């Protein structure tokens, strides 16, 4: 299987914007996934995977995350990202 090429970049227009994103994560003890919600501040950093590009934005300073989520940041898929700051 071929590794996906990753292209990194920075969008200054999103840096410092508050946002929400949702995604899926495993349910403990099972084979199923559940919706997970995150809120925080976008860094402006992004990564594109594949062709056509599938864009992910980095969110830090999380103010909402699942209780068992161990990280201080999360990558949010662009279609699941909602800006709170205009």
Least confident range from 3-7, 16-20, 36-40, 67-71: namely 3-7
pTM equals: 0.84
pLDDT tens profile 33-71: 677 899 999 999 999 988 888 899 999 999 999 888 889
Domain-wise residue ranges, the chain = 6-26+33-83
DSSP codes of every residue in the chain = -PPPPEEEEE-TTTTT-EEEEEEEEEPTTSS-EEEEEEEEEEEEEEEEETTTTEEEEEEEEEEE--TT---S-EEEEGGGEEES--
């Amino acid at each position: 299987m071929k590794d996906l090429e990753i292209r990194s970049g920075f969008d200054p227009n999103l840096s410092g914007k508050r946002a929400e994103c949702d995604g899926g994560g495993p349910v403990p003890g099972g084979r199923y996934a559940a919706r997970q919600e995150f809120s925080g501040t976008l860094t402006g950093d992004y990564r594109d995977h594949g062709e056509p590009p599938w864009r992910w934005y980095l969110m830090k300073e999380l103010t909402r995350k699942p209780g068992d989520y161990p990280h201080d940041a999360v990558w949010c898929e662009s279609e699941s990202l909602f800006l709170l700051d205009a």
